[in-house]
């Protein structure tokens, strides 16, 4: 048996997005999770795994039972799971942690993997305009969160799913990786002036691609799981990141 360890990185599955056969996407993503090989060490989920996620004290969103079961199965067999909140699933409080054993990381977290430093983020807060950042502050306000929690889930989720129809994914169209013109490329280039990093991995942009930063670090943007299901794997034996593609939708 190979002694190598595998580390997976993915983002922007947008489970629950009311477009492009959401039921089939949920089934196939769960199948992907169950298919991870025995030498999988860790899975990093870099935001927007859910198109909308809000935890009430006694209520969680419906429609994700297969995926939640698959994530629980991974932790049960010893795979370490990490999650960074995206702009669509920022309202995670303790369900993922207490029920599924997932560790929640902060934006721009630096983790050491096999002696390499990985800087991980979803990315929306790093490049968002003033209106986006203002909206995020409102969404993170504890008082406003408690007020929102007083709304019956039936109406709260209906409002959220109606809003998600304006998601750029629901309107169709595939974006392309812009290399050094990616806004997050500038973020990585500035960050590495203060800290030596081997790999930067971001989500949010839905534009899978990679190049090198001015300092020589690997710069990667993950893909989404609506069209192409692109993700990254770091193999400890090979010693580098590799692109993979998930099950076809």
104-130 pLDDT, tens digit each: 999 999 999 999 999 999 999 898 766
Q: At residue 248, does pLDDT exceed 60?
A: no
CATH 3.60.21.10 fits 6-245, yes or no: yes
Mean pLDDT of the chain: 87
Q: What's the pLDDT tens digit per position in 221-234?
A: 999 998 888 999 99
Q: What's the pLDDT tens digit per position in 180-201?
A: 999 999 999 999 999 999 999 9
Cα–Cα separations (whole angstroms), residue 24 to 13, 67, 134, 136: 12, 12, 35, 30
Question: What does the alpha-carbon distance between residue 59 and residue 62 come to, in Å, rounded to a whole number?
Answer: 9
pTM over 0.85: yes
* Domain positions in the chain: 6-245
What local confidence, expressed as pLDDT, does residue 92 receive? 83
What local confidence, expressed as pLDDT, does residue 109 receive? 98
Beta bridge partners of 209: 221
Question: What does the alpha-carbon distance between residue 167 and residue 164 come to, in Å, rounded to a whole number?
Answer: 5
E strand residue ranges, the chain: 6-10, 40-45, 80-84, 103-105, 109-113, 116-121, 199-202, 209-212, 218-221, 230-235, 240-245
């Amino acid at each position: 048996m190979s002694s190598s360890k595998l580390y997976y990185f993915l983002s922007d599955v947008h489970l629950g997005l009311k477009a492009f056969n959401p039921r089939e996407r949920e089934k196939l993503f769960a199948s992907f999770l169950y298919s991870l090989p025995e030498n999988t060490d860790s899975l990093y989920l870099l935001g927007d795994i859910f198109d909308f996620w809000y935890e009430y004290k006694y209520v969680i969103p419906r429609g994700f039972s297969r995926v939640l079961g698959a994530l629980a199965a991974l932790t049960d067999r010893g795979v370490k799971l990490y999650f960074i909140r995206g702009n669509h699933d920022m309202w995670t409080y303790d369900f993922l942690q207490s029920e599924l054993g997932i560790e929640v990381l902060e934006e721009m977290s630096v983790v050491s993997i096999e002696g390499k430093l990985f800087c991980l983020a979803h990315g929306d807060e790093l490049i968002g305009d003033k209106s986006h950042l203002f909206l995020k502050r409102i969404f993170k306000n504890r008082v406003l969160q408690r007020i929102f929690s007083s709304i019956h889930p039936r109406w709260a989720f209906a409002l959220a799913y109606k809003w998600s129809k304006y998601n750029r994914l629901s309107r169709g169209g595939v974006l392309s990786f812009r290399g050094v013109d990616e806004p997050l490329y500038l973020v990585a280039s500035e960050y590495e002036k203060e800290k030596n990093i081997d790999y930067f991995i971001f989500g949010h942009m839905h534009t899978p691609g990679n190049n090198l930063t001015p300092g020589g670090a690997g710069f990667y943007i993950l893909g989404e799981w609506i069209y192409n299901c692109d993700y990254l794997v770091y193999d400890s034996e090979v010693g580098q990141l590799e692109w993979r593609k998930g099950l076809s939708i």
